[in-house]
Amino acid sequence: MRADSVQDFNRWSSTYEESWLQRYYFDHVHRGILNLIDFKSNITRILDVGCGTGRLLRKINERYPNAQLIGVDPAEGMIEKARQLMTDTKFFVGPAESLPLPDASVDLALSTFSFHHWEDQVQGVREMRRVLRPGGRFLLADVGAPILRMIFHHGQIRTPAEIRSIFELAGLEVGTQRRMMLGHVLVTIGIRQ
């Protein structure tokens, strides 16, 4: 993530939880994502990259309280807030392109609305593959509608074909791609074979 974006998110961290975007947009996306996860499967470690204040991790904890949760975000302010809200969760400050985790150490990796900020998206997805156990899944949700490209003018917004190609370059098999929120959100699920 570019330094100016990190600074923006650090400034936003104190009011991020109260933002109207949380209730009226991100919470709806999170519910849709949670419905795509098979919580009956053997998931013991879950990673959220670009976790912000840990809002999605808190929702996962409600559905899957026995899983070990891990959050990574490049904005120190977001991580500080997340640590206050979830004292029993591991949080790390860092970029998607260099995750502070061992190889093959997580069952499920998620990223919602941070992908377009990543400096090197291919390297970030390679890192997801590296930390996933064989059979593990990476669920990516990001801006997907062309009209939103004008609103989210910062970062690199990708087409479904470009994201599929990035996953394949990184060594992930694309299991599914679908749109949510009237096409505004593109969800891609990759599997480490």
Which residue, 116, 16, 139, is CA-closest to 75? Answer: 16
Structure tokens that stand for 72 in this block: 């990574």
Structure tokens that stand for 108 in this block: 């499920």
Number of structural domains, the chain? 1
Q: Find the CATH number of the domain harbouring 120.
A: 3.40.50.150
Going residue by residue through the chain (193 aa), what tens digit of pLDDT does each one get? 666 677 777 676 777 788 878 787 788 889 999 988 876 678 899 999 999 999 999 999 998 899 999 999 999 999 999 999 999 999 999 999 999 999 999 999 999 999 998 999 999 999 999 999 999 999 999 987 555 555 555 567 889 999 999 999 999 999 999 998 766 899 999 999 9
pLDDT in tens, 126-182: 999 999 999 999 999 998 755 555 555 556 788 999 999 999 999 999 999 999 876
Structure tokens that stand for 146 in this block: 């062309």
Q: Phi, psi (5° rounding) for residue 55?
A: -60, -45
pTM exceeding the 0.85 threshold for the entire prediction: yes
- 182, amino acid identity: L
Boundaries of domain holding 30: 3-191
CA distances to 21, 30, 146, 179 from 163, in Å: 25, 20, 14, 13
Q: Would you give the DSSP letter of residue 23?
A: I
